[in-house]
Structure 1
Amino acid sequence: MKKFIGLVGTNSDHSTNRTLLQFMQNHFSAKAEIEILEIKDMPVFNKPEDKGIPEIVQVMADKINDADGVIISTPEYDHTVTAALLNALSWLSYGIFPFVDKPVMITGASYGTLGSSRAQLHLRQILDAPELKARIMPSSEFLLSHSLQAFGEENNLNDQAQVEKLEGLFEDFLTFVTITNQLNHAHAQNTKEAENFSWETI
């Protein structure tokens, strides 16, 4: 059984993106183990000169390293991802590189109509950065709009069409993870490039 990390892309205590990951954790429990991780307790990234990594960051990096893939669920603030998510990714690409060649699935829930579409597009660009180098599942968007009304009893999705779409995307992600894990011949070089990359020497 595959083991995934579900990353809550916000520091909000009440987020429908957390609820979406909890739904996926339960709904797909027969196909994968999903451990949900929070970013809300991470300190503000301050680029420490000694490259010291806070324990909470190192623990998360280790869990991502050990996982078969990562599912990130992001809201949309000001047409982009949250500051908290960007902060977390900054820590997770500073002297540690758990996302290099890691399969990633992106989902998103928002209170409005567009379902975090701009934030998801921006997150794809961020995860493609030289220090992250994640493998993002292509041609896949799960955009949960009007998310305050989207969940019913026991945090189940109300719209069966949305459930079926998510089921299809999750099956695609399982296949994507299997294929991606075979594309590992350049992993050592990709990691080395991430380690040696510096914006200051460009």
Structure 2
Amino acid sequence: MEAVAAAKPVIKVAALCGSVRKGSFNRSLIHSAIEISKESIKGMEIVYIDISPLPMLNTDLEVDGTFPPVVEVFRKKILEADSILFASPEYNYSITAPLKNAIDWASRPPNCWADKAAAILSASGGSGGARSHYHLRQIGVFVDLHFINKPEFFLNVFQPPSKFDSNGKLVDAEVKEKLKGVLLALHAFSLRLQTKHLK
């Protein structure tokens, strides 16, 4: 009998939005990423994780090695993911407070981010969030995340024509193609990391 080729593993991606406002363009990017992965990228499953319920980091809330229930649930989802997809606007040249708070909670010992692949999307004004990417990458060094280097994704949401429809849904075909490129790179890099660990 011919040997049956082993199926490639499904890469489970946890997607976090740094903006907690209802009409967030960055959350729209995540929803578009989920759609693209389902339609075009075999072996990738993206799950959006809402960080808005997390309390502000306070180690007084840690009791006998346990965290508040909402934090425990969040940490478990990060731990079970193979890769991370961040989508966040730029605030004051950096990442948002809610995103930093989420990163800090999941970095509390034992660190849930360690050795995972990651990618960054940003929809913002000005440079489209470019400066915030580098702060996030610096944080990633300490928490042991491995970011893809290329392609980078910065989207100026105020530069016409609008890339989103009246409901906030991403409709620009060129932007969608760039988003797909990021997802393909994240998928490939995640598989490379997994293969390295199996050697």
User: Fold-level match, TM-score > 0.5?
Assistant: yes
SS in structure 1 of the partner of residue 13 of structure 2: strand
Fraction of identical pairs, as percent: 30
Which whole-Å deviations, capped at 9, do the CAs of 1:2-51 have from their partners, x for residues lacking one? 22111111222321111110111112214222110111111010123645
Q: Identify the residue that residue 176 of structure 1 maps to in structure 2.
A: 189
Contact 2:151 2:181 in 1 (8 A): no
Q: TM-score, normalised by structure 2?
A: 0.83
Q: Identify the residue that residue 20 of structure 2 maps to in structure 1.
A: 11
Give the unaligned 5+ runs of structure 2.
1-9
Supply the distance in 2 between the matched residues of 1:156 and 1:14 (Cα, whole angstroms): 10
User: Does residue 71 in structure 1 map to residue 71 in structure 2?
Assistant: no
Q: Identify the residue that residue 4 of structure 2 maps to in structure 1.
A: none
Q: Identify the residue that residue 28 of structure 1 maps to in structure 2.
A: 37
SS in structure 2 of the partner of residue 107 of structure 1: strand
Supply the distance in 2 between the matched residues of 1:154 and 1:29 (Cα, whole angstroms): 21
Q: Determine which structure has more spread, i.e. the larger CA radius of gyration.
A: 2
Contact 1:109 1:147 in 2 (8 A): no
Which whole-Å deviations, capped at 9, do the CAs of 1:111-154 have from their partners, x for residues lacking one? x231110111110101111xx11111123311111169321277
Give the unaligned 5+ runs of structure 1.
186-202
Which residue, out of 42, 55, 60, partners 2:54?
42
Contact 2:118 2:148 in 1 (8 A): yes
User: Does residue 159 in structure 1 map to residue 168 in structure 2?
Assistant: no
Which residue, out of 61, 67, 75, partners 1:53?
67
SS in structure 2 of the partner of residue 157 of structure 1: coil
Supply the distance in 2 between the matched residues of 1:74 and 1:155 (Cα, whole angstroms): 15
SS in structure 1 of the partner of residue 120 of structure 2: strand
Amino acid at match of 1:16: F
- The number of residues matched between the two structures is 183
Over the residues paired in the alignment, what is the CA RMSD in angstroms? 2.2
Regions of 4+ moved over 4 Å? 153-156
Compare 156-165 and 34-43 and name the one that shifted more: 156-165
